[in-house]
Each structure stands twice: as C-alpha cells, then as structure tokens.
Structure 1
C-alpha cells in the first residue's frame, strides 16, 4: 500500500462515522451513505490539500454535498410540479392520474436528463447558455437534451399505455 492509500485509509477509519453521523442528521440513510462516500472520494482527489485537523474540512465538504443534493431535488420537484400544471385533462380523475404518472416519470429521470429538460423547457435557455450552466459544449448539451426528451417521451408513452390497459 502506497503512502496516499495509507493516508486515505487512516482518514476514512478515523472520521467516516463522524461524517456519516453529521449527514444522517440532514438526509435519509441511503442518501447519507452516498454523501459520506462522496466526501471521502473528494478527500482522495484532494488528499494533498486536506488540512489538519481534517474533520472540520470533511464536514464542510459533506455540508456542501448535502446542499447541492437538496437544490437538485428542489429543482426536480419544481419541474415536476410545473409540468403537472401544464398538462390539461378532461376530468379531475384523469388529471390526477396523469399528474401522478408525470411525477413518477420525472422522478425516474437521471439528474442530468432532468437538468437538460429543465434548462431548455422551463427556463427557455438556448444551447449556448444552457451548456455553460451544465458545464459542457453546446453540441454536447443538444445531444443530452435530445436524449433526455426521448427518454421522457418514451417513459410517458409507456405509462399511458399501461394506464389505458388498466382502464
């Protein structure tokens, strides 16, 4: 085992429980475990810059990851609610069913897909503007958006077919 692996192992063994405990106060079990793991992944990447003592720095990283995750969930939920408002239905029962189907489909989209749809459809940004926010080229963003819209449409079509078969 090289020196950096030994450093990370010692850091992990010494502070994982503290980081996980901190995150568990702010997130569900599975999410907390993912954020704690990601915290140590970031520590691994920046191992030469981790200050002494490392715990305050690790908790700061975890805090930022929790905030990022919350913002992402909030944006996704806002998109789901907006799309649910836009889709008119013939009657209340049909509207409730379609709204729930839209919520389920959007919740199943990856964060990257939801972001692409959100930036283009909700905020009405062009490829250049959206690409800057997404951290990629305009061409890459266009491909992401195309694929995200296709996945969304396919999932909605499949949901509609399932709903019609049950009726």
Structure 2
C-alpha cells in the first residue's frame, strides 16, 4: 500500500469513527423501537458496516480534503436512519425466508401445518447441515428463492427430472430428521431398552 493509500485509509477511519460516535446510540434506540430484541445488535452492526463502506456518501460529513470535525447530528442522522431502515428490512426478509423454509419443511414432516418454536430453527439447521452439499443447495433454492425444479436445474446444471428426484428425497430425509427432533418423543429415550429390561426382570 502506498503512502497516499495509507493516508486515505487513515482519513476514512477517522471520519467513520467521528460519525459512529455521533450516530451509534441514536441508531441503537431507533432499532430498539422497531426490531426484534435478538435482531438489534446484528442490524446495528450491518448498518455501521454500510456506513463504513459508503462514508463518502454520508451528507454533512467532512470530506477527505477537509479536517475531521464532530458531525452535526441533524445533518447526518436522517441519512443514517435510512441506511438502518434498509438493513432492518433486509433482516426481516431473511427472517421471513427462514420461517417460510421451516414452515414448508415442517408441513412436509408432519403432513399438516403446525405451530413451531425457536428450537425448531436449530433442528432445521442441523438437519440441513446433514444433507449433501448439492441436495442442501437444491432445498434452499426451492425454499428460500422459491424456484421451480426447472429453474433450479438452470442454476445447478442438472436436469429438471434429477432436481425433482433429489428434492423429493432430500425433503423426506429432512422430514424424518425433524420428526425425530421435534416430534412427541423428541429428547426421550425409546422404550426398546425399557422393554428389554422389563422382560429380563419378568424372566427372573
């Protein structure tokens, strides 16, 4: 990195730090009033990352050719609120996609729609991770991007028939794993060992 590039990087960091000192707390309050509690920190971090990347676009902020001053909140906050609003919208869309995936796969598992809790998300991610990478990609394209097998075939290079077969098999595997994780007997030992033990006692 040349000296000029190093100076530009230092200037960018200084301007970002000056901006963050002014906007971080108001942005946190903004998100607390709008986001789910478990979303706030992640969305705030994403917002600050966007501000870092777009530091040149922030209105009312000192330029690289001017001294770094304490930004005027009235000048910079409206634009920063807009960035936070966009990041929150992205987070909500991602959350809806995850919930949609869970609901669609749970429907496959149970044969009917049912209420699901946060624990099911963990079970779903675990079940997805156990699929082969290509099968996992096919399921995610179907559930998240809502693509048809023919469109998935374009993405993966497979035939539409091969996609349909893989998708069907993958959903069956996920359904079985989700049933084991979230079904009535989830987290409990099966009765096989108990039955054997009782048989052993009765034969004594």
The two structures have a TM-score, normalised by structure 1, of 0.63
Query: Shift of residue 155 of structure 1?
Result: 10
In structure 1, the partner of 2:148 is 124
1:71 counterpart (93, 117, 133):
93
Is the CA contact (8 Å cut-off) linking 1:106 and 1:114 kept in structure 2? no
Q: How does 1:95-106 map to 2 (within 5 A)?
A: 103-106=121-124
Gapped regions of structure 1 (runs ≥ 5): 132-137, 140-145
The separation in 2 between residues aligned to 1:69 and 1:31, in whole angstroms, is: 8
> Secondary structure in 2 aligned to 1:2?
helix
Larger Rg: 2
Which structure's residues are more often helix, by fraction?
A: 1
Cα distance, 1:20–1:164 mapped onto 2, change above 3 Å: closer
Give 5+ residue unaligned stretches, structure 2. Answer: 1-8, 61-74, 130-134, 158-165, 191-204
| TM-score normalised by the chain length of structure 2 | 0.53
1:55 and 2:77 aligned: yes
The two structures, once aligned, show a CA RMSD in angstroms of 4.1
Aligned residue among 30, 54, 79 for 1:46: 54
Quick one: structure 1 residues 41 and 88, their matched pair in 2 at CA, closer, same or farther if it must change by over 3 Å?
closer
Does 2:194 align with 1:166?
A: no
Q: Distance in 2 between matches of 1:13 and 1:51?
A: 16
Report the counterpart of residue 72 of structure 2 in structure 1.
none
